[in-house]
């Protein structure tokens, strides 16, 4: 967030459509109803036999039948998470009242977040390679595994040929992708951007890769709890439709809110102990970008790693900006698990729905340590007006992002 | 060795790359271009490797990508099958 401020006011960028596929709800309305009611979607892994692994819990999207949503031609060439992504994108565009064929191809762009690409597809093809030989590997492996595959497939499906890209920054990716989409709209390189992330690697190969982080919980996801033991991974995520506020209003769109501020930082090197961790700086940058003060923030959607030292660092950053118990904090991802590239995009969707309905959804299944000084919304959802929400997300090994969404007035 | 028929090819294309939407693959597609039917080069590569596996033959990549229509592909594949029989 460098550069001088120009005299011309930069275009406001609003969110005009949402699509959600989450472990506690297929589609925005199911997800939001479950989330407000504190109903979670974490359970024993169903996509493969995980009983022999240290972690056998996951948040899996319920009731998803690809054939109900996608043409047969797409099925042999798509990983499970790409199928989820294509359907989520369809829903986001429909929610925005956008029919892409009525727009110029080059006015529509796609920026998604990704973590590992199509892992389950890749696993199947690698198994074919070593057990049967190269002739048995699908030609579609050439792109189905690839990080940028969701952006590419969405772009092809809807002829969205404006600026397209992919951001790979672990859990922070959902925010970083939305920030990049906002830049494209502000630059005028695209009239409409589809952005966010849908992810998932609930397969044995993906599992082993995730276990290597040592951050997966054997027994449940309890961020900020004294017994926090890591997180539970999940699949799904959200896509958002972003447009400049004026033209969106002119075409009759009804924005959920606007992307008001963003900041992104790296933590200091491990030997840079005299420098503060980067999360607080990311929050400060986002507040500055939005032109607001901490007092304007009605709720914080936490990253909630579920790992003791990471929870402590996040609580410290929130406390340093807002004061002890200075702002309601919530982490509804206790109901979904952490969704990697899909995580933060789903949090932004959740924040926009909180603004729409004046409800802060709860953090479930956790008993926050008083030492953290957080006003964590536990038990039941809290009804209160939400005009401004701050969403935090951290990637593995120290990249931090903060994004602010505000009510559109 | 048995020759590859248009019905074999239809089945292989469906298995390899899914069914197409706007065109009836069971109709008269012999001389339609693959692109018009809805199968791109990757779909054909995937179909080609399935033909190779089913018949124990090797097809040059060029043979697959240069075949514009089902008739082209069947002719080229059946030549390879006939050579394999003669050998």
Task: Tell me if B17 and A77 make a contact (CB, 8 A cut-off).
Answer: yes
- Region A229-238: what's the mean pLDDT? 98
**What is the domain-level CATH number for residue A241?**
3.40.47.10
Say whether both A240 and A319 belong to one domain.
no
**Closest alpha carbon within chain B to A140:** B42
Does residue A8 belong to any structural domain of this protein?
no
Q: Is the pLDDT of residue B1 over 70?
A: no
Question: Is the Cβ pair A142, B53 closer than 8 Å?
Answer: no
Examine the domain organization and report whether A97 and A246 are in the same domain.
Answer: yes
Cα nearest neighbour of B38 on chain A: A73
pLDDT value of position A141 = 96
**Residue A145: which domain range?**
13-250
With respect to residue A98, please indicate whether it lies within any of the assigned structural domains.
yes
**A161 vs A234: CA distance, rounded Å:** 30
Q: Is A72 in contact with B42 (Cβ distance < 8 A)?
A: no
Residue A308 placed within a domain: yes
Neighbours of A105 (CB within 10 A): 13
Residue A7 pLDDT exceeds 80: no
Task: Average the pLDDT over A329-349 and give the result.
Answer: 98
- Between chains, do B16 and A71 touch, taking CB under 8 Å as contact? no
- HSE value, Cβ hemisphere, 13 Å, CA-based, for A147: 15
What SS3 state is found at A319?
Answer: helix
Q: Is residue A255 in some structural domain? A: no
Whether this model's ipTM surpasses 0.90 comes out as yes
Q: What is the mean pLDDT of chain A?
A: 95
Final residue in a domain of this structure, among A221, A250, A279: A250
In this structure, the answer to whether residues A190 and A46 fall within a common structural domain is yes
User: Are residues A295 and A369 located together in one domain of the fold?
Assistant: yes
CA distance A93 to A240: 8
Q: What token pair was written down for A401? A: 């992002």
Provide the shortest C-alpha distance from residue A64 to chain B (in Å).
19
**Residue B26 distance to chain A (closest CA, Å):** 16
A142: closest CA of chain B, how far (Å): 9
Query: Measured between CB atoms, which of A72, A77, A139 is closest to B49?
Result: A139
Contacting residues of A for B21, CB less than 8 Å apart: 71, 73
pLDDT given for residue A363 in this prediction: 98
How far A75 CA sits from the closest chain B CA (Å)? Answer: 7
Number of H helices, E strands in chain B: 5, 0
In a domain, A84, yes or no: yes
Q: With CB atoms and an 8 Å threshold, state whether B46 touches A142.
A: no
Percent of the residues in chain A that have a pLDDT greater than 70, as a whole number:
98
State the average pLDDT over residues A316-331: 98
CA A351 – CA A361 distance, rounded (Å) = 9
The model's pLDDT over A254-310, given as tens digits with 9 standing for 90+, comes to 999 999 999 999 999 877 777 888 999 999 999 999 999 999 999 999 999 999 999
From CA A283, how far away is CA A262, in angstroms rounded?
8
Among chain A, residues having any CB pair with chain B shorter than 8 Å are: 71-77, 135-136, 138-140, 142
pLDDT at A291: 97
pLDDT score for A409:
79
**Out of B15, B17, B49, closest to residue A73 by CB:** B17
- Do A302 and A231 fall within a single domain? no
Q: Is A89 among the domain residues?
A: yes
Indicate whether A30 belongs to any domain. yes
Give residue A276's pLDDT: 82
Task: Mark which of A223, A250, A277 sits at the end of a domain.
Answer: A250
Q: How far apart are CA A321 and CA A335, in angstroms?
A: 27
Residue A256 belongs to a domain: no
For the cut 80, the answer to whether the pLDDT of residue A6 exceeds it is no
Residue A4 clears pLDDT 70, i.e. is over it: no
Residue A405 phi/psi, 5-degree rounding, is -115, 140
Same domain for A303 and A175? Answer: no
Contacts of B53 in chain A (CB under 8 A): 135-136
Q: Based on the fold, state whether residues A22 and A148 are members of the same structural domain.
A: yes
The whole-number pLDDT of residue A270 equals: 78
* Cα–Cα distance for residue pair A214/A210, rounded to 1 Å: 8
- What is the distance in angstroms between the Cα of B18 and the nearest Cα belonging to chain A? 4
Q: How many structural domains are present in chain A?
A: 2
Nearest CA in chain A to B41: A139
Among A225, A250, A275, which residue terminates a domain?
Answer: A250
Residues A113 and A174 in one domain: yes
Integer CA distances (angstroms), A246 to A114, A238, A254, A260, in order:
30, 24, 11, 15
Is A73's CB within 8 Å of B16's CB? Answer: no
Residues A204 and A321 in one domain: no
pLDDT of B32-82, one tens digit each? 999 999 999 999 999 999 999 999 999 998 999 899 999 999 999 999 999
Q: Do A139 and B42 touch (CB under 8 A)?
A: yes
A164-167/A359-360 β-pairing: unpaired
Residues A78, A227 within the same domain: yes
- Flag if A73 and B46 touch (Cβ within 8 Å): no
What is the residue-wise DSSP string for A212-268?
A: TTS-B-SS---TTBTT---B-BB-EEEEEEEEEHHHHHHTT---SEEEEEEEEEEPP
Q: Which domains are seen in chain B, by residue range?
A: 6-86 (1.10.1200.10)
Q: What are the pLDDT digits (tens) for A159-197?
A: 999 999 999 999 999 999 999 999 999 999 999 999 999
Q: Which residues of B touch A (CB under 8 A)?
A: 14-21, 38, 42-43, 45-46, 49, 52-53
Which pLDDT value is given to residue A274? 75
Candidates A72, A138, A142; nearest CB to B18: A72
- Residue among B16, B43, B53 whose CB faces A136 most closely: B53
- CB neighbours (10 Å) of residue A302? 27
Q: Are residues A267 and A381 in the same domain?
A: yes
Which of B41, B42, B44, B61 has the highest number of chain A CBs within 10 A, making it the mutation to test binding with A?
B42
Mean pLDDT, to the nearest integer, of A124-129? 97
Per CB-CB distance under 8 Å, the chain A contacts of B16 are 76
DSSP A362: P
Contact A76 B46 (CB under 8 A): yes
Domain identity same for A201 and A114? yes
């Amino acid at each position: 967030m460098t550069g001088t401020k120009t005299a011309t006011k930069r275009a406001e960028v609003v969110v005009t459509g949402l699509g959600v596929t989450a472990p506690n709800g297929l589609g925005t309305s199911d997800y939001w109803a479950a989330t407000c009611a504190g109903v979670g979607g974490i359970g024993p892994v169903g996509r493969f036999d995980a009983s022999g692994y240290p972690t056998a819990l996951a948040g899996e999207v319920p009731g998803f039948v690809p054939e109900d949503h996608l043409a047969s031609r797409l099925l042999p060439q798509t990983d499970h998470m790409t199928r989820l992504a294509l359907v989520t994108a369809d829903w986001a565009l429909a929610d925005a009242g956008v029919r892409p064929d009525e727009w110029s191809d080059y006015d529509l762009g796609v920026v998604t977040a990704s973590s590992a690409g199509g892992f389950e597809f890749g696993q199947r093809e690698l198994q074919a390679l070593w057990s049967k030989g190269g002739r048995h590997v699908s030609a579609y492996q050439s792109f189905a595994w690839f990080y940028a595959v969701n952006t590419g497939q969405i772009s092809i499906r809807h002829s969205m040929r404006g600026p397209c890209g992919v951001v790979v920054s672990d859990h922070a990716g959902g925010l970083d992708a939305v920030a990049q989409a906002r830049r494209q709209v502000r630059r005028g390189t695209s009239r409409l951007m589809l952005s966010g992330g849908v992810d998932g690697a609930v397969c044995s190969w993906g599992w082993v890769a995730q276990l290597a982080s040592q951050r997966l919980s054997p027994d449940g996801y309890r961020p900020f709890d004294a017994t926090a033991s890591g997180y539970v991974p999940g699949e799904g995520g959200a896509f958002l439709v972003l447009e400049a506020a004026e033209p969106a209003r002119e075409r009759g769109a009804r924005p959920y809110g606007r992307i008001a501020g963003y900041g992104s930082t790296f933590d200091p090197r491990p030997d840079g102990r005299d420098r503060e961790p980067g999360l607080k700086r990311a929050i400060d940058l986002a507040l500055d970008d939005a032109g607001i003060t901490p007092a304007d923030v009605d709720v914080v959607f936490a990253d909630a790693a579920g790992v003791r030292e990471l929870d402590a660092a996040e609580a410290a950053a929130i406390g340093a900006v807002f004061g002890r118990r200075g702002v309601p904090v919530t982490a509804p991802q206790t109901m979904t698990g952490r969704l990697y590239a899909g995580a933060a995009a789903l949090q932004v969707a959740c924040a926009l729905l909180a603004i729409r309905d004046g409800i802060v959804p709860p953090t479930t299944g956790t008993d926050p340590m008083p030492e953290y000084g957080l006003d964590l919304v536990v038990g039941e959802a809290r009804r209160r007006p939400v005009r401004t929400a701050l969403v935090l997300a951290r990637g593995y090994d120290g990249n931090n992002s903060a994004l602010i969404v505000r009510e559109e007035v | 060795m048995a020759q590859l028929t248009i019905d074999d090819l239809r089945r292989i294309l469906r298995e390899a790359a899914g069914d197409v939407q706007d065109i009836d693959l069971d109709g008269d597609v012999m001389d339609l271009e693959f692109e018009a039917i809805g199968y791109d080069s990757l779909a054909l590569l995937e179909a080609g490797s399935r033909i190779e596996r089913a018949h124990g033959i090797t097809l040059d990549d060029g043979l697959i990508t240069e075949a514009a229509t089902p008739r082209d592909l069947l002719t080229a594949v059946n030549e390879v099958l006939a050579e394999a029989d003669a050998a």
